[in-house]
């Protein structure tokens, strides 16, 4: 029987996004504050996922051996280092989160049966790499606070309470929503980026966080005047809002995960999306549909 196991590790390191062939102005335009000298640091958290058959001892691998491999091949070398200089791979391609995950895979693959490398730069930004050439995944996490009421206008109060329980109460209730947006793309062989991170964060803030934060979704977001704002419907709506703008940035939306509370969350994959009639103003103030 096959089983996937995961091992956690961590290291602290610094890096700088800077290309010598670009001018100072061009570097700052492309990388923002990440171009500042001498660099900046992170407490990285690494998850190594491996797959294999269970042996007679009930293990896929001896975790003590796994720990020593990760320590020898990765964390001992990267901990308290300047990433741009520690490994030769980063002379050609900058040590972004997604490229660092890719290179860690390459370092560990000869020794461990890998299925995924997940690397957290911080709790709001992480990358996943699964051994597919230059393809990787990058996730941005953010949040907004909003209220909603779950009720269909064509049903009575009693019928809505039967379906939605306390969530159908007339004056609604609120949540601190956590939103995770995962994009997929090819890592640029020079910049190490699969998407312009600043532009991605700006799109999420402009299209989702700013319009949604501190609203009553049923009344303040036109779409939810006729669609019940369940976590599932909110996630579908957000995915539709972001799908085209992310494509315009040269990446693909992969997944939207909406965490309504510690007990409830949902995930929507872009591959399953169907277009919605969404009223949205572009930067010229003209209504468009996505």
- Does residue 289 have a pLDDT over 50? no
- Cα dist. 288→165, 228, 229, 246 in Å? 35, 22, 21, 16
Distance CA 24, CA 44 (A): 28
Q: Which helix (H) or strand (E) holds 116?
A: strand 114-122
Confidence label for 279 from pLDDT (cuts 50, 70 and 90): low
Which residues, 6+ apart, have CB-to-CB distance to 83 below 8 Å? 13, 14, 15, 90, 95, 100
* pTM more than 0.85: yes
Distance CA 12, CA 221 (A): 42
- Does residue 113 have a pLDDT over 60? yes
Which residues, 6+ apart, have CB-to-CB distance to 18 below 8 Å? 27, 31, 35, 37, 84, 94
Q: Which helix (H) or strand (E) holds 69?
A: helix 63-70
Distance CA 98, CA 120 (A): 10
Told to judge if 111 belongs to the known catalytic residues of this protein, a careful annotator would answer no
Q: Name the active-site residue from 40, 68, 143, 214.
A: 214
User: Which residue would you say has higher pLDDT here, 229 or 289?
Assistant: 229
Which pLDDT score, from 0 to 100, does residue 278 have? 54
Which pLDDT score, from 0 to 100, does residue 275 have? 77
Which pLDDT score, from 0 to 100, does residue 35 have? 95
Told to judge if 121 belongs to the known catalytic residues of this protein, a careful annotator would answer no
**119-169 confidence digits (pLDDT tens):** 999 999 999 999 999 999 999 999 999 999 999 999 999 999 999 999 999
* Residue 141 near residue 180, CB atoms below 8 Å: yes
- The fraction of the chain above a pLDDT of 90, given in percent, is 92
Told to judge if 266 belongs to the known catalytic residues of this protein, a careful annotator would answer no
Distance CA 29, CA 18 (A): 11
Helix (H/G/I), strand (E/B), else coil: 79: coil
DSSP for 253-265, please give it. Answer: EEEEEEEEETTEE
Q: Name the active-site residue from 98, 121, 180, 260.
A: 260
Distance CA 142, CA 177 (A): 9
Q: Name the active-site residue from 111, 161, 167, 186.
A: 167
Helix (H/G/I), strand (E/B), else coil: 237: helix
**The dihedral formed by the CA atoms of 220, 225, 229 and 233, expressed in degrees to the nearest 10:** -110
Q: Which helix (H) or strand (E) holds 120?
A: strand 114-122
């Amino acid at each position: 029987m096959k089983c996937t196991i995961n091992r956690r590790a961590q290291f602290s390191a610094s890096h700088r996004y800077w290309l010598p062939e670009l001018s100072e102005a061009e570097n700052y335009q492309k990388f923002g504050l990440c171009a500042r000298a001498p660099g900046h640091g992170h407490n990285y958290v690494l998850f190594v996922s491996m797959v294999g058959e269970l042996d007679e001892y009930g293990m896929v691998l001896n975790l003590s051996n796994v720990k020593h491999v990760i320590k020898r091949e990765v964390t001992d070398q990267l901990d308290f280092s300047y990433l741009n200089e520690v490994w030769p791979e980063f002379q050609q391609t900058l040590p972004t989160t997604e490229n660092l995950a890719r290179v860690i895979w390459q370092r560990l693959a000869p020794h461990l049966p890998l299925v995924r490398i997940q690397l957290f730069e911080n709790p709001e930004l992480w990358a996943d790499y699964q051994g597919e050439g230059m393809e990787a995944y990058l996730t941005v996490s953010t949040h907004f606070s909003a209220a909603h009421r779950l009720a269909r206008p064509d049903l009575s109060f009693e019928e809505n309470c039967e379906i939605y329980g306390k969530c159908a109460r007339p004056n609604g209730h609120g949540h601190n929503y956590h939103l995770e947006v995962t994009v997929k793309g090819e890592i640029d062989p020079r910049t190490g980026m699969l998407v312009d991170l600043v532009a991605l964060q700006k799109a999420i803030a402009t299209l989702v966080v700013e319009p949604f934060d501190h609203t009553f979704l049923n009344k303040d977001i036109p779409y939810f005047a006729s669609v019940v704002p369940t976590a599932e419907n909110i996630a579908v709506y957000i995915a539709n809002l972001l799908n085209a703008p992310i494509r315009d940035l040269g990446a693909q939306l992969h997944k939207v995960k909406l965490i309504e509370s510690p007990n409830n969350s949902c995930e929507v994959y872009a591959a399953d999306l169907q277009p919605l009639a969404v009223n949205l103003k572009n930067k010229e103030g003209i209504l468009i549909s996505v």
